[in-house]
Structure 1
Amino acid sequence: MMFKDPWNPTQEEIKKWAYSDEMAPEQDWELAIYKIENIPMICTFVEDEQCEHTSYFLNTLYVFTGDMVRVGREIQKLSQLLDTIENTTKSKELKLWIERSQLLIEYPEYYDNSYWGLCSKFVYE
């Protein structure tokens, strides 16, 4: 699969990759796709059993929250996004991500890169 620019992928390119069996186009590609406007779409991939990369996208959500809280960027937007997703999600994985994210927002001093960074222990252990 070809990306015009893997570090600035379109939502359509991300969606195509989500349903492919290909490896991520770049190392640490989570950082390229975790823009706030992509988060609702990423959540749909986590909930879709047809998606080939559900763990990858779940990890992306943890990295997204961790980075937002760690640098103190757009916390209000993040909180609103979590509230919106919480009202529609059915999966226990997303509910747990939301719950953990809300706790991290409230207690940012508990940030731990091994849980909120790439290869999150929340996802891969």
Structure 2
Amino acid sequence: MKFKDPWNPTQKEIKKWAYSDEMEPVQDWELAIYKFENIPMICTFVEDEQCEHTSYFLNTLYVFTGDTVRVGDNEEIQKLSQLLDTMEKTAESKELQLWNERSQLLIEYPEYYENSYWGICSKFVYDI
């Protein structure tokens, strides 16, 4: 699959990749797709059994939360908190509900940030 720019993919390109069996287009691609505007779409992939990359997208959510909290920008954290409040009402899968609960706890207790859980290859997702 070809991307015009894998570091700035469109939602259409992300969705097409989500339902393909291809490897990530570039290493650490999570960092390219975890923009606020993509999070609701990423959540739908996590809950869709037809999606080929559910674990990848779940990991993306953990990296997104971890980076947002670690950077410590209060406006961005507030935006994340509002997003989590919205997602809490719509999340159906256990995985998405757990991400939401863990994310809210990390916002409340940022000192518990640990890269092995909130970074790429999250132990929450891959249990490494």
Q: TM-score, normalised by structure 2?
A: 0.97
Could you say what secondary structure the match of 1:21 adopts? Answer: coil
Question: Shift of residue 63 of structure 1?
Answer: 0.1
Question: Shift of residue 72 of structure 1?
Answer: 1.1
Q: Percent identity of the aligned residues?
A: 87
Letter in 2 for 1:32: A
CA distance in 2, matches of 1:83, 1:22: 33
CA distance in 2, matches of 1:10, 1:16: 10
Count of equivalent residues:
125
- In structure 1, the residue matched to 2:86 is 84
CA distance in 2, matches of 1:88, 1:100: 16
- In structure 2, the residue matched to 1:27 is 27
CA distance in 2, matches of 1:16, 1:123: 22
CA distance in 2, matches of 1:72, 1:14: 27
Please give the per-residue CA displacement for 1:30-74, whole angstroms capped at 9, x wherever unaligned: 000000100000000000000000000000000000000000130
Question: 1:38-117 counterparts in 2 under 5 A?
Answer: 38-73=38-73, 74-117=76-119
CA distance in 1, matches of 2:82, 2:54: 23
CA distance in 2, matches of 1:78, 1:95: 15
The answer as to 2:122 corresponding to 1:120 is: yes
CA distance in 2, matches of 1:65, 1:89: 16
Question: Shift of residue 90 of structure 1?
Answer: 0.5
Q: Which runs of 5 or more residues in structure 1 are unaligned?
A: none
Letter in 2 for 1:27: Q
What do you get for the CA RMSD once the two structures are aligned? 0.4
Runs of 4+ in 1 over 2 A off after TM superposition: none
